[in-house]
């Protein structure tokens, strides 16, 4: 990738529309992989460089369960290098094109670290957790900071599952279920659908994009290497808060940023990364800045 911007191809967009995901190379500059891994080290030991805590901190060095996948949500608030990666305009443009939106804003990032021996993450659909804004749509860019493999617990997608019905999805344990594919297998059976599981196996710096209704999860890390990924979850630039959904999904966490008399999503908390008219929230960091 060098220092160039990521550019989505027509073939990649067509694959996304057909399968509900697309696996790609060249999402992260190789020169930034080491610095980003060091950001993970700092954040997971509670060192928040900006002085602002992430919205969700589900694992910290010293008291976190070593068998669980480590997770932080909205690390971009706490670390400028993370921010300069997930707030990129080129990624926002690619997501907007795939989702069919006029622009994108970040809803949250995820820092996921699955060390050797860490257990699985259950299959789920992202859109099911988002009743607190409208349109209830998300599209995601998943960036690997280490080489990934099926044995290493990489992300897995159920091909074409974004076209399955969206109602009455089964639910299950997200962190460390005994069978991480149980929910998607049940959904496939309910909808008489073929279950075709595809692992994201890429070199460090590669990754994927996926649709908000695509079933996905990951197995345990049975390899001897770490699996660290940086995830960008986006919504349409036109999205607005939906107050009836504030108490459901992850609404209790993110609805706190709503103003009492307005359903607009404040760009200080949900900045616009790219919009087709050229607008981008002023002051966002550029790639590689620190």
Domains and CATH numbers, the chain: 10-275 (2.60.120.620)
Interatomic CA distance for residues 143 and 38, integer angstroms = 15
The reported pTM is: 0.95
Residue 167 has pLDDT above 80, yes or no: no
pLDDT band at 290 (very low <50, low <70, confident <90, very high): low
Closest CA to 113 of 173, 153, 77: 153
> Average pLDDT of 140-149?
98
Q: Tens digits of per-residue pLDDT, 7-16?
A: 999 999 999 9
Residue 119's alpha-carbon distances to 104, 177, 178, in angstroms, are 32, 8, 9
Residue 28 has pLDDT above 60, yes or no: yes
Residue 283 has pLDDT above 90, yes or no: yes
For the chain, state the CA radius of gyration.
Answer: 18
Rounded to the nearest 10 degrees, the angle between the axes of helix 10-19 and helix 89-99 is: 50
Both structure tokens of 47:
């060192």
């Amino acid at each position: 990738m060098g220092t160039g911007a990521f550019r989505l191809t027509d073939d990649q967009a067509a694959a996304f529309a057909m399968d509900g995901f697309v696996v790609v190379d060249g999402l992260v500059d190789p020169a930034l992989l080491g610095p980003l891994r060091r950001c993970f080290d700092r954040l997971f030991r509670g060192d928040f460089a900006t002085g602002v805590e992430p919205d969700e901190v589900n694992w910290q060095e010293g008291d976190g369960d070593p068998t669980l996948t480590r997770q932080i949500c909205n690390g971009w608030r706490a670390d400028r290098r993370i921010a300069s990666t997930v707030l990129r305009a080129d990624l926002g443009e690619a997501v907007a094109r795939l989702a069919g939106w006029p622009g994108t804003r970040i809803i949250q990032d995820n820092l996921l670290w699955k060390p050797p021996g860490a257990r699985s993450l259950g299959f789920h659909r992202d859109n099911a957790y988002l009743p607190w804004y409208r349109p209830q749509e998300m599209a995601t860019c998943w960036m690997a900071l280490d080489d990934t493999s099926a044995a290493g617990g990489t992300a897995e997608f159920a091909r074409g599952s974004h076209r399955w019905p969206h109602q009455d999805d089964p639910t299950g344990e997200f962190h460390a279920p005994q069978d991480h594919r149980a929910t998607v297998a049940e959904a496939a059976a309910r909808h008489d659908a073929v279950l075709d599981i595809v692992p994201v196996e890429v070199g460090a710096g590669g990754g994927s994009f996926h649709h908000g209704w695509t079933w996905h999860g990951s197995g345990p890390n049975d390899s001897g290497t770490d699996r660290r990924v940086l995830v960008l979850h986006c919504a349409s630039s036109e999205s607005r808060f939906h107050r009836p959904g504030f108490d459901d999904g992850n609404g209790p966490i993110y609805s706190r940023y709503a103003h009492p008399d307005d359903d607009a999503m404040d760009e200080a908390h949900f900045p616009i990364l790219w919009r087709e008219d050229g607008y981008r929230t002023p002051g966002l960091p550029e790639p590689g800045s620190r």
